[in-house]
Amino acid sequence: MNAATIVRDDQRSGTDFVGDLRIEWTAACNVGRVRETNEDAALALPGVYLLADGMGGHDSGELASEAALLTLAQAQAVDGLAGTQSALNALLVQAQQRIGAIETESDRRAGTTATGVVLVTEDGQPHWLVLNIGDSRTYRYQNGTLNQLTTDHSQVQEFIEAGFLTPEQARTDPRRNVITRALGAGMVDPVADFRATPAYAGDVLLICSDGLTGELPDEEIADILAEAESSEQAAQRLVDAALALGAHDNVTVIVLTAHESTETLPIPAVADTAGDVEASADGSDV
């Protein structure tokens, strides 16, 4: 664990070799044009790519997002999805305790979202184990289509599911900042969603805070990903597009692309999403 791996007010890129995959990633975290502090943070370690969007006012949101990521940075991609998921759940409990200990100057408790992926081998096949708590998002861009792999834990998401709002209405609804799950923020136990999907060379993942999706509809995000020639260019252009639209919140993106690391181990370029596994927080389905 290394505090230098936290990305805030910065843009960093790297290449990780994990199993048979070469992962090219860029994490960009920008304060935006309105907020005085940057409560977002990103983390990239080989096979672990996560971000957190903190809340709580003064510096407590910054401390909360950093505490969450430094705790989750201890995640080891142990063999198997179920073992990794239970290790992550234990780390989420630790993170919740650390965040609960952050002093705040108001009655708003420190808290944070967390989302992203851990690359895990299951039955010899690499999988993205997707984690989410709150309203930050993880997407996969594949064959020209942007698919949100996570479901927001927010009041407007509940209105969408009830048929009261369209996703586009929700994006600008005044209630869009009300989240229903978080790490800390006075919530009782951290309840994350997990989902596993096979990882293939050619995969493009986008992990982002609501400072991106609050400014840009999915179609515009997909267009930027389609035209970018690298993870670095995609991340830069996504942040630039949010800034051009006013960047009313902190904006953080992690773009990662998976490539074959060797020529002797061909991996199908098109994912078979029928192999997806969805699981609840208790891990019973993994």
Contacting positions for Mn ion (CB under 5 A): 53, 209-211, 249
Instruction: Give least dist CB 73 to Mn ion, A.
Output: 21
Q: How many residues does the chain have?
A: 286
Q: Is residue 59 within 8 Å of 89, Cβ to Cβ?
A: no
C-beta closer to Mn ion: residue 88 or 247: 247
C-beta closer to Mn ion: residue 11 or 74: 11
C-beta closer to Mn ion: residue 247 or 286: 247
| Beta strands per DSSP E along the chain | 6-7, 10-18, 21-30, 40-45, 48-55, 111-112, 114-122, 125-133, 137-142, 145-148, 183-184, 193-198, 204-208, 251-260, 277-279
Q: How many CB atoms sit inside 10 A of residue 170's CB?
A: 19
Instruction: Give least dist CB 55 to Mn ion, A.
Output: 8
User: 247-269 burial string, b = 16+ CB within 10 Å, else e?
Assistant: bebbbbbbbbbbebbeeeeebee
C-beta closer to Mn ion: residue 41 or 258: 41
Instruction: Give least dist CB 64 to Mn ion, A.
Output: 12
Q: Is residue 261 within 8 Å of 21, Cβ to Cβ?
A: yes
C-beta closer to Mn ion: residue 52 or 205: 52
